[in-house]
Every structure is written in C-alpha cells, then in structure tokens.
C-alpha cells in the first residue's frame, strides 16, 4: 500500500476508537462508577488492539523504509510507527503488563496511610506537613505518606522487569530506552541537558536552600543539621515550602475564575468561551479531584475538567488548562488524525507559560484589577517565589530521571539507598537516620507514567523560551495569532525540537533557565 493510502486507512481505524476512548475517559472522570470505569477499560483495549496489529505494523515499517515524497505523510508514518511499537509484544506479556499496572494503580487509589491510629488520605497528610509546627507529628505524617511504597515495591520491581522484557523483545536495551526512542528523545542529549540544568541550578539552589533551612531551623527550634525530609512541606520536596512562597489567596479569594480566564485569553486574541461551555469546572461527588484538558475529537470538541474554588491555586490551574485548550484548538484541522495533536513537552510548555501569569504583576494589575500599590509591593516577592519554585522543581526532576534510568538498568539493585543518595546529592535533603525502606516506590509516576518526568522539566524550559521569544501575554492582542501560526498550527507534523526552534528562532537550550533564574 502507498504511504498516503496507509495513513488514511489507519486514520480511519484509529479515529473512531480514539474518539470513543476519549469520551469514555471523560465520562469516567466526571462520574466515577463501576460502569463508567468498565466502559473506559473496554474503549482503551479496543485502541490497544489496533496498535497491536502486527500486519499493520509491518506495513507501516515497510512504508517508512521507502522515502515518501510528501513530508506530512512521512511524518505521519513515523508517528504511527512510534505508536504501534510498544504494543508489538506477545499477547500474554501485553495482558500481564496491563493487569499488573492496573493492580498497582488501584492499590495507590485504595491505600490510606495511618495517622493517630486512623486512616489518613493525602489531603490530611499534606495538611499536617503544611501547617504543623510539631516535628514529631510531621515525622509521623511523612512516614504515613511512604507506607504505600513498602506495599507496592516488590510488585513495582516485577512490573519493571516485565516492561524490560517487552522492550528487549522489541530490540531495545530496556524500557527506559524504548520510551525515549518512541517519543523523539535522544538519551545522550537528554542527559546532556540534565547535566547542564544541574550545573546551572547547583549554586543558586544551594544558596536558596541554606536561607530556607535557616528559617526552618528557627521555626522548628532545631539545628540546620537536624532538618529531615518531614520539615519540608511536600513529601518529596518537589514544591517549595510555604515559608518560601507568596500567598496570593487574599488577593484572589473573590475572583470569578471563569471570567478571569475568558478575560485573560481575550487579551491574547484567543476565544475560549466555547471551551468553557463544554467544560466541567466545579467540584462534585464522584468526580476526580485534579484537573486536565482533553481534545475529544480533534475537530473542536475541547473540554476542561477542573474543581474550582476561589484562590490562587485554581486560578493558576484554569490558566494552565486553557493554555492546553488554546493549543488544541490551534492545530490545523486538515492534518491526518495522527498528526492533529502535539508532543507532551510542547503542550505542557504552553500551559505552564499561561499558568505563570498568576505570578505576573501585570496580570494581577490589569486583569485582576489589584491596586498599583499592592502590585508594586508584591512584585519583588513574586519574582523570588517563581525563581525558588523553578529551582526546587528542577532539582527534583534530576532525582526522578536519574533514579528511573538506574531502576530500569538493574531492577534488582539497591534502590532503597540509591534513592536517598540521589535526594542528598540533588535536593540537599538528609536521609532519615537508619531508615531502610523503599521510599522511591511511593511515587505513583513510576507505576502509571513511567519515563515521563523529564517532560515537565522540558515544559518549564519551553515556557521560559516562549516568554523570551513572544514577550508578555497580558493584553497583547496579536500574541494568540503569532503563537497559532508559529507553534500551534503544525500539530505533530514536525518533531517537537524542530518545531520549538521554528517557533522561537532558536533551538531549546538550558541557557534559558539560567536567564530565568536571575535574582
Ligand atoms: Zn498540563
């Protein structure tokens, strides 16, 4: 079959099944029940069955090997090959992987730590770590947050072995190498970027952290050398403690988040009222508690799920999710189905760029309408808080990515101690004395979103590069059209790294992080 014909044929098979899977995903998230979960699993399996079709895969490979004159067709074939590859394993192994992943995932959903002899959910544990000044109570909460690790660690190691078995069957070193190769990441370049991020952030992070540690030591009445992981509000220290941030809730507690979102995107020349109308934005029973944006049919049915309550957190979430929505709506509709999407790190970059507006003095002044004196007073602290949060997050991603590469390189290795070696090296957080436990296994991404974390760091780099290339977003009526033409329209028809260079005039470089971190 000719390349173009093959792309059409596979589009016609995948499009209706993926639309059905997207609808099922939406329904399961706005109304969690056994029926909606079962419908979702069935719809996902139908997509996976097409991607496992070995004859179709052979045709894609054959067509990929012959140079095709049309670059869009050639790119569609390359993307199809990447989508089919991970599914080309013996059916028994594919089923064992799906079952084990689902089993570990549901243990995460059901598990509750124990605090004061009572089951405690994540919010209860986080509330102690955010607000308590009692170090022993904080320690108990932190330990409760890690008990899921001990419960799933051996199954997780088994999942890692199975993922490696599948990857080797496909000719890859391990699962880590397979995921990078099928998502347009070159491993050597990725780790070169991580090394540069390490050297750019090392000194400013150390300086920021010693100031933070001095404040925490005073607050808890201990020596700096006695600070341990439970003194930092987040169980993984992936976000800065509240002692290092700015609380914007008093400025946003009366804000109408939908109106603010519409007003913000109107200012960029981007229409989001249609998305608002299709979205589900208020908290409710049986609805998932986080937020996401989904492009259901790649023809304009874009929806956001959120759980808005007044305040800074959900204001940022709304701008973030509607950044995803603007991107989805900006992709050219006449591309093949498989290209009418984009790389995860690009859409995260756009969403993060929009979410950052909440800490932008211009946005707080012009869109929220805070008095000039308030904005002037907040401005330097907002900059410092943004910088701290970038530093903390970058160091955390270094831990995750290095850890995960080592986990797949040797699933039976001494990962309990290796985890703390990396935390001490990159995050400068001391391990608890005498602790021997699989604390790494408490991080849900290792199970449900393997080899994914670097996308968040690249998202931050891309957000900073967009900020430099396109300037401010507040009431810049042309910026929506500029982003649309240069970044959104091509969808996945270009590789993400080529597209960011095309859109901003420069290849993505960690140097942008150095500039973003200027005090
Ligand atoms: Zn996002």
The string of pLDDT tens digits covering residues 386-404 is 999 999 999 999 999 999 9
pLDDT surpasses 90 at 7: yes
**How many A from CA of 431 to the centre of ligand 1?**
31
**How many A from CA of 388 to the centre of ligand 1?**
20
CA distance 327 to 351: 9
The string of pLDDT tens digits covering residues 340-388 is 999 999 999 999 999 999 999 999 999 999 999 999 999 999 999 999 9
- pLDDT value at residue 328: 98
**How many A from CA of 278 to the centre of ligand 1?**
18
**How many A from CA of 357 to the centre of ligand 1?**
15
Q: Which residue has the tokens 């909606």?
A: 36
**How many A from CA of 456 to the centre of ligand 1?**
9
**How many A from CA of 132 to the centre of ligand 1?**
30
**How many A from CA of 307 to the centre of ligand 1?**
15
CA distance 190 to 493: 22
Token pair, residue 356, equals: 């950052």
**How many A from CA of 359 to the centre of ligand 1?**
17
**How many A from CA of 325 to the centre of ligand 1?**
10
CA distance 498 to 505: 10
**How many A from CA of 254 to the centre of ligand 1?**
25
Token pair, residue 350, equals: 């756009």
- pLDDT value at residue 110: 78
**How many A from CA of 350 to the centre of ligand 1?**
9
**How many A from CA of 384 to the centre of ligand 1?**
23
Q: What is the b/e burial string over 150-183, where b = at least 16 CB atoms within 10 angstroms of the residue's CB?
A: ebbbebbbebbebbbbbbeeeebebbbbbbbbbb
pLDDT surpasses 70 at 455: yes
**How many A from CA of 346 to the centre of ligand 1?**
10
**How many A from CA of 344 to the centre of ligand 1?**
9
Q: Which pLDDT band holds residue 196 (cuts at 50, 70, 90)?
A: very high
CA distance 1 to 6: 6
Q: What beta strand segments (E) does 25-138 contain?
A: 113-115, 118-120
**How many A from CA of 125 to the centre of ligand 1?**
24
CA distance 481 to 476: 10
Q: Which pLDDT band holds residue 99 (cuts at 50, 70, 90)?
A: confident
**How many A from CA of 314 to the centre of ligand 1?**
13
**How many A from CA of 315 to the centre of ligand 1?**
14
Q: Say how many C-beta atoms besides its own lie within 10 A of residue 496's C-beta.
A: 22
Q: Which pLDDT band holds residue 145 (cuts at 50, 70, 90)?
A: very high
**How many A from CA of 159 to the centre of ligand 1?**
26
The string of pLDDT tens digits covering residues 159-172 is 999 999 999 999 99
Contacts by 255-258 with C-beta closer than 8 Å and gap 24+? 255/310, 255/315, 255/368, 257/281, 257/308, 257/310, 257/314, 257/315, 257/318, 258/308, 258/318
Q: Say how many C-beta atoms besides its own lie within 10 A of residue 247's C-beta.
A: 12
Q: Which pLDDT band holds residue 286 (cuts at 50, 70, 90)?
A: confident
Q: Are 147 and 156 in contact (CB under 8 A)?
A: no
**How many A from CA of 352 to the centre of ligand 1?**
7
Q: Are 174 and 168 in contact (CB under 8 A)?
A: yes
**How many A from CA of 425 to the centre of ligand 1?**
28
Q: Which pLDDT band holds residue 129 (cuts at 50, 70, 90)?
A: very high
**How many A from CA of 306 to the centre of ligand 1?**
12
Token pair, residue 250, equals: 């008093």
Phi and psi of 245, rounded to 5°?
A: -115, -170
**How many A from CA of 317 to the centre of ligand 1?**
9
126 burial (CB, 10 Å; 0-12 / 13-18 / 19+) is middle
Pick from 217, 265, 267: which is nearest to 241 by CA?
Answer: 217
**How many A from CA of 433 to the centre of ligand 1?**
37
Token pair, residue 167, equals: 């990857």
**How many A from CA of 265 to the centre of ligand 1?**
17
- pLDDT value at residue 64: 75
**How many A from CA of 209 to the centre of ligand 1?**
27
The secondary element (H helix, E strand) that includes residue 113 is strand 113-115
**How many A from CA of 292 to the centre of ligand 1?**
7
Note the pTM of the prediction, 2 decimals. Answer: 0.94
**How many A from CA of 320 to the centre of ligand 1?**
6
Q: Say how many C-beta atoms besides its own lie within 10 A of residue 265's C-beta.
A: 23
pLDDT surpasses 70 at 68: no
For the chain, state the CA radius of gyration: 23
**How many A from CA of 160 to the centre of ligand 1?**
26
pLDDT surpasses 90 at 285: no
Which residue would you say has higher pLDDT here, 103 or 442? Answer: 442
The string of pLDDT tens digits covering residues 467-476 is 999 999 999 9
**How many A from CA of 341 to the centre of ligand 1?**
14
**How many A from CA of 434 to the centre of ligand 1?**
38
Q: Average pLDDT over the chain, rounded to whole?
A: 94
The string of pLDDT tens digits covering residues 231-281 is 999 999 998 888 788 989 999 999 999 999 999 999 999 999 999 999 999
Q: Which pLDDT band holds residue 284 (cuts at 50, 70, 90)?
A: confident
**How many A from CA of 48 to the centre of ligand 1?**
24
pLDDT surpasses 70 at 57: yes
Q: Which pLDDT band holds residue 67 (cuts at 50, 70, 90)?
A: low
Q: Which residue has the tokens 């341990």?
A: 228
**How many A from CA of 445 to the centre of ligand 1?**
15
Token pair, residue 124, equals: 């209860």
pLDDT surpasses 80 at 94: yes
**How many A from CA of 348 to the centre of ligand 1?**
5
The SS3 assignment for 503 reads helix
pLDDT surpasses 90 at 448: no
Q: Mean pLDDT throughout 187-191?
A: 97
């Amino acid at each position: 079959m000719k390349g173009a014909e093959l792309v059409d044929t596979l589009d016609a098979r995948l499009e209706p099944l993926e639309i059905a899977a997207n609808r099922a995903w939406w329904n399961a998230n706005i109304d969690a029940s056994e029926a909606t979960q079962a419908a979702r699993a069935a719809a996902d399996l139908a997509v996976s069955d097409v991607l496992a079709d070995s004859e179709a895969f052979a045709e894609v490979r054959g067509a990929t090997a012959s140079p095709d004159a049309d670059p869009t067709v050639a790119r569609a074939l390359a993307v199809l090959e990447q989508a089919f590859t991970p599914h080309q394993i013996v059916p028994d192994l594919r089923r064992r992987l799906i079952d084990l992943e689902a089993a570990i995932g549901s243990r995460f959903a059901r598990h509750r730590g124990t605090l004061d002899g009572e089951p405690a959910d994540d919010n209860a544990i986080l509330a102690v770590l955010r607000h308590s000044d009692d170090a022993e109570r904080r320690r108990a909460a932190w330990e409760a947050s890690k008990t899921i690790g001990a419960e799933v660690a051996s199954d997780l190691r088994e999942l890692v072995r199975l993922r490696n078995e599948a990857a080797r069957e496909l000719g890859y070193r391990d699962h880590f190498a397979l995921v990078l190769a099928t998502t347009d990441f070159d491993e050597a370049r990725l780790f070169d970027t991580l090394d540069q991020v390490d050297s750019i952030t090392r000194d400013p992070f150390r300086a920021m952290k010693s100031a933070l540690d001095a404040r925490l030591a005073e607050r808890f009445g201990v020596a700096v050398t006695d600070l341990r992981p439970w003194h930092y509000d987040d169980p993984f220290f992936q976000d800065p403690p509240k002692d290092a941030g700015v609380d914007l809730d008093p400025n946003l507690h009366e804000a109408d988040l939908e109106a603010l979102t519409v007003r913000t995107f109107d200012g960029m020349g981007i229409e989001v009222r249609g998305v608002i109308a299709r979205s589900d934005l208020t908290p409710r029973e049986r609805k998932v508690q986080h937020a996401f944006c989904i492009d259901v049919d790649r023809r304009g049915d874009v929806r956001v799920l959120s759980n808005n309550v007044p305040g800074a957190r959900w204001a940022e979430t709304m701008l973030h999710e509607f950044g995803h929505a603007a991107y989805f709506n900006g992709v050219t509709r006449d591309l093949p189905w498989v290209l009418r999407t984009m790389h995860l790190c690009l859409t995260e970059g756009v969403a993060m760029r929009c979410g950052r507006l909440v800490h932008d003095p211009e946005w707080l002044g012009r869109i929220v309408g805070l008095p000039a004196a308030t904005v002037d007073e907040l401005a330097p602290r907002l900059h410092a808080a943004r910088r701290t949060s970038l530093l903390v997050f970058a160091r955390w991603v270094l831990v995750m990515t290095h850890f995960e590469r080592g986990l797949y390189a040797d699933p039976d290795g001494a990962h309990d101690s290796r985890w703390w070696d990396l935390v001490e090296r990159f995050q400068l957080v001391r391990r608890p004395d005498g602790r021997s436990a699989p604390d790494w296994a408490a991080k849900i991404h290792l199970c449900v979103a393997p080899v994914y974390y670097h996308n968040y760091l690249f998202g931050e780099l891309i957000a900073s590069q967009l900020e430099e290339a396109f300037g401010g977003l507040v009431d810049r009526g042309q910026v929506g059209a500029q982003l649309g033409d240069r970044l959104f329209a091509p969808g996945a028809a270009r590789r993400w790294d080529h597209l960011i260079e095309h859109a901003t005039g420069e290849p993505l470089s960690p140097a942008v992080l150095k500039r973003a971190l200027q005090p």
